[in-house]
Structure formats: C-alpha cells, structure tokens
A and B are shown apart, each in its own frame.
Chain A
Amino acid sequence: MEHAWPALALSLKVAGWSTAINLVLGVGVGFLLARWRFPGRDLLDTLLTLPMVMPPTVLGYYLLVLIGRRGALGAWLHEQFGINLIFTWQGAVIAASVVAFPLVFKPARAAFEAVDGQLEQAARVLGISEPAVFFRVTLPLAWRGILAGVLLAFARALGEFGATLMVAGNIPGKTQTLSIAMYEAVQAGQDDTANILVLITSVVCITVLLTAGRLAPGRIANQ
C-alpha cells in the first residue's frame, strides 16, 4: 500500500515528460513526413511506426543495446558527461517516449496532410513568413487531430510496462511505476494494493480516452 502513491506520482512524471518530448518530436516529424517528399519516406514512416506493433520487451532490449553502459550511445554519454540512464526515471521516460511515439506521430502526419495547402498559399501571398504560416494556419487547423494523439500517447506512457522494466528496472520509490508496482503487488499477494492501483489506472485512462474522443477530428464542426 505504501508504494501506491509514489508509484502514481512517478508514473505521472514519466508520462508527462514523455508526452512533452513526443509533442515536440512527434509533431515535428509528422509535419516533415507530411510535407517533404524524399526517397525512403515510406521506409522511415514504417520504422517510426514499429514501436506500435513490436513487443515492448523487444523495444526495451533495443534500448539497452543502445543506451546501456556498453551501448553505442550509452558508453559515449557515460564517458563524456558521466550520464547513466539505466535504472533511472529518465531511462523510464525514454522507454515510454519510444513506445508512445507512433501514437503522436501518426495522427500528427494525418492531421497535417488534411490541411488544405491552398490556405497556406493564401497566407504566403498575404505576406506571412513561413514559420508564421505554420503557427497561424497549419498548426491551428491540425491541432485537434494532434491533441487527440497526444492524449492517447499520455495514456499509453502512463501504463507502460515492458520496455520500462527492461530499461529502468523495478526500484520502489525510484523507478517503480504504477503498472510495475501492480505486477509486484499481485505477485506478493497484496490484493488491497493491487485493487487501488487498478482503480487509479482505470480512472485516469478512461478520463483520457473520453477527452481524446471529444477532440477527435470527426467531432469538429465541419469547416
């Protein structure tokens, strides 16, 4: 029971950070793939969508290979900056970000592709600079579709289990997130704790899904 609230707090922190990261990366990559034609675009789209279908444990393993102490990136980070990501909450953020990325990037790309290019042209002819066209026309028109994806990504990151366990482990109060605490509670036969954790997770996820449903593109008053 005493692990429930720290686990919830940690899960919210991890989900919050990973959502913020995906908001920037997912929207940016979604925009580039929607507007830029280059060879290998479909292949890149496929690779970036992989986290949606691959088992989280496999993703966790890839991450260990990449950012582990002996991993290509991990060794460099450790040598240059003394940074170690394995068994830290920051590692959990990276794991959750990778797993939830396609949920932001996919809808963002679709939302950008649905924006009528003529509206952007109209803004350009009116003398508006390229960045301003993005922030004043493209983004506001794509916003609802993006936000729906962002909320789904938050819910997904909140419940992340497999990849997080591989990368960040299970250290109570440090890297033990909600779903990992739940797994441990069930394993240890602590049904009270498990019940509360299940309840909290369900309420949060239902709230997020209801909100996402309200924002989904189909609901916009037809413009």
Chain B
Amino acid sequence: MQLDIDIRKTLRSGKREFHLDVRLQCSNQRTVIVGPSGAGKSLMLKAIAGLLRPDSGHIRLDGQVLFDAEAGIDLPPQARGVAYVFQDYALFPHLSVRQNIAFALARGWLNPRQHGQHGRDASVEYWLDAFQLGHLAHQFPSELSGGQRQRTALARALVAKPRALLLDEPFAAVDPTLRVAMRSELDELQQRLQVPMVLITHDPEDATVFGAHVLSMHQGRIEAESGMTEICYN
C-alpha cells in the first residue's frame, strides 16, 4: 500500500477551533496511529474514506488521487475502494448477519435477501465460515456479543475486496479480556489476507501488538514515533 496524505482541515464548534494538519507517507502493509482521544485520528481516517472533505491538500492511494483540492478532485466514498470499520461497528440493525455481510454485493435499491442470490454468494459463505459466524447468520446485530459484532463488521468490509482496511479503534468497544484474543485474531487475519491496513487507537498496547509502522498523533498533527516521518517498512 502506498499512502500519501497531505491535508489540512479546520473545524469549528462554537468558539473552539480544531486544526487537522496531517502529512503522512508510507508504503507498508500496516500502519498504526496512536494518540489520545481528540487528537484527530478519526477525522484523518474519515478523510481517507471520503467521509470528511479536507480544506486543502491531497490524498493518494497506490498512485490514484482520491482527493486533490487544487485539481478539484474529490472521489465520493463509493469510488475509493477502501473499507472502514467503525469504532462501534455501525452494523445495520435491521439486517441479519448474513444480510450485513452481503450488503456490498447487492448494488441495487433493495437489500440482499436472507436466502436470495447475494445472501448465498460464495464469498458470503466463505466469510461466515472463516469468522465462525455460520450459526449466527440469521441473527440480528442486537443479538450478538462484542466479538461477534466485530467479526461481522470485518466480514462486511472484506467482502467488498477493499484496497485498504481502515480500522477505527477496533478494540475499544469490547471488554479487556476479549481484547487480547481479538488482537491476535486480527493480527493473524491481516497476515493471511495481506490486506493493507491503517489502524488508529488510543491504546499503546494495540501498537505493540501490530507494531509494524507506528506513528503518534497529537492535536491534529502526526509525529513519528522515532522522530522521523519517512520510516516505512514491511
């Protein structure tokens, strides 16, 4: 994954102002960004996914321009080919696990049916199996545990075959005992699939486990862990 970010965004809420000023270049499969809450990590991730429009700068992924303020390019989230796993997973509450996972496969104005063409798609079956969700396929998100929700969210994201996986505090919503198991699960999954991933977290422990390329972020700015921004390795 070649990720090249250089963006600025000013957000105002009442009299408070927040400046996001991110410069980041990396070419490794795993990037972890650590920072306290309110550092702007989610904003940066949203900008990559196209959910937040920066005021200026550019974002490039694998040579493709996703956003360029000067050139007037701003690809909609639909055209960016990235996957976003939200902090609380944002599973569709009105759809079953199977329908959630098959969501991206149905392109029309109707949701995939539980037993319809998209619900029985081979890749849906594959992910249901891979994440041990087969027996939960007909359950709704409200009936799942934290770990099952996260696996459903990951499966839903991976079915779309994204170029990069953006993970927003993936372990914040689960209890500490489960967290350790889920970290190694995601670690193993990422190595097996070789999906490039950008993970943001406030928990330094996450960085130690995933540790390939760790950056820290404070008050809207990226600071390299080692004091150098250019370090990238696999």
Contacts and interface: CB of A to CB of B under 8 A. Distances in A.
Contacts of B50: 124-125
B43 interface: no
B160 interface: yes
Nearest to A222: B142
Q: Chain B: interface secondary structure?
A: loop
B110 A125 contact: no
Size class of the contact patch on chain B? 20 to 34
Interface in A112-133: 116, 118-119, 121-129, 131-132
Contact of B51 (A116, A124, A221): A124
Given A125-B83, A128-B104, A119 B78 contact: no
User: Which secondary structure dominates where chain A touches chain B?
Assistant: helix
Nearest to A119: B90
Nearest to B84: A125
B82 interface: yes
B90 A118 contact: yes
A121 B90 contact: yes
B103 interface: yes
B147 interface: no
Contacts of A140: 94, 111
A141 interface: yes
A135 interface: yes
Interface in A186-223: 221-223
B194 to A, nearest CB: 21
A140 B50 CA distance: 24
Contacts of A129: 78, 107
A103 to B, nearest CB: 24
A121 B160 CA distance: 15
B51 A126 contact: no
A137 interface: yes
A136 interface: yes
A223 B107 CA distance: 25
A222 B78 CA distance: 30
A126 B162 CA distance: 9
Contacts of A119: 90, 92-93
B125 to A, nearest CB: 19
A136 B111 contact: yes
- The 3 tightest CB contacts between A and B, nearest first, are A223-B93, A126-B104, A122-B90
Interface of A: 116, 118-119, 121-129, 131-132, 135-137, 140-141, 221-223
Given A121-B77, A128-B103, 20 more contacts: A116-B90, A118-B86, A119-B90, A119-B92, A121-B84, A121-B86, A122-B90, A123-B92, A124-B51, A124-B76, A125-B50, A125-B83, A126-B103, A136-B111, A137-B92, A140-B111, A222-B142, A223-B94, A223-B140, A223-B142
16 contacts: A118-B90, A119-B92, A121-B51, A121-B77, A122-B86, A124-B50, A124-B77, A125-B82, A125-B83, A126-B83, A126-B104, A127-B78, A129-B78, A132-B108, A140-B111, A223-B142
